[in-house]
Amino acid sequence: MTDYRTIADTVAAEIAAGTIRPGSRLPPQRDFAYRNGIAVSTAARVYAELTRRGLVGGEVGRGTFVRSAMDSYDQPAEIDAAGTVNLEMVVPVLPDQRALMAAGLVNLADPGVFAAAMRAVGPRGTAEARRAAARLLSRGSWTPNPEQILFTGNGRQALAAALSALAAPGVRVGIEAFSYPVAKSIAARLGVVLVPIALDEDGIRPDAIVQAHRDHGLKGVYIQPALHNPLGITMGPERRAAIAATLVGQQLIAIEDAVYSFLVEDPPLAALAPDHVILIDSLSKRLAPGTTLGFAVAPGELVERVARAIRAGGWNAQGLAFVAAIGWLENGTAVAVAAGKH
């Protein structure tokens, strides 16, 4: 019996050679099975393998089509002259999410909606947008207060605004000893001095936070509790509770990077120490890097300070992206796509 991967290799070779051209519609799986003398279940596995490789995409009611090079999200990693592979950009895109997201943009054709997209967006967005964002960011029994949600152009801008609001140039902020490289770059641009804090197999250590604060007088600490970048660590409930207690006991503010939080069930640090956490998140991982919107959920006393930082830094969300993103939140598209990645 011919292995389904061998058949997929043959089809892939025909696509690469141009025998099957981009945009071509593959035959229905039953017809493909008959032509190749295989079971329909094997044909389904061939199509699934071609989809996994990013060579084809299916659209309900239309069939399976060969992607063009521009359609594929599986672009080769960027390699510089020294042979270093750039792994900075993560593109977690489902093969069939484009059609779903495109359908959610129909409302932009309405003149009133489009007019709203042409207006500037403030850090607070709109009341409807804050409520939609609160529903999206909810986790377990925790739902953020819509009045404490602010919007930025993307997650990195939310991080920059949070750092800027917490620490002036020259001020010290703690960070995991091995952490997200972009966070370090942003801090350097802002003149914030980062103090490395020790980790273990559960993530950043509470006792190390206390010691770093005692030695350096920290103004805050940057933490990734869920799917740490680049270590992949997710804190368990006991460590989260210990970190929250440490923040309260030391009167420290944490910047909680929650961009991968939609993949875990545990409540965020913001649920355990709401007055001591600025939670930042975005749509880049839930949806795609080019369709992002950033969120900052700040303690009540810090909302205006973070909002001022967003305005001063020019980190506001842009009108068209904001309206499109909120549309995906309100019609369920964002939740559906994120669920497909869970």
> Domains of the chain by range and CATH?
4-66 (1.10.10.10), 106-341 (3.40.640.10)
Write out pLDDT tens, residues 252-297: 999 999 999 999 989 999 999 999 999 999 999 999 888 889 999 9
**Phi, psi dihedrals of residue 28, rounded to the nearest 5°:** -55, 150
Kind and range of the H or E run holding 85: strand 85-86
| 0.85 exceeded by pTM | no
Write out pLDDT tens, residues 202-232: 999 999 999 999 999 999 999 999 999 999 9
CA 1, chain centre distance (Å): 42
What residues contact residue 96 under an 8 Å CB cut-off, 6+ apart?
51, 57, 58, 59
pLDDT of residue 155: 96
Bridge partners of 81, per DSSP, are none
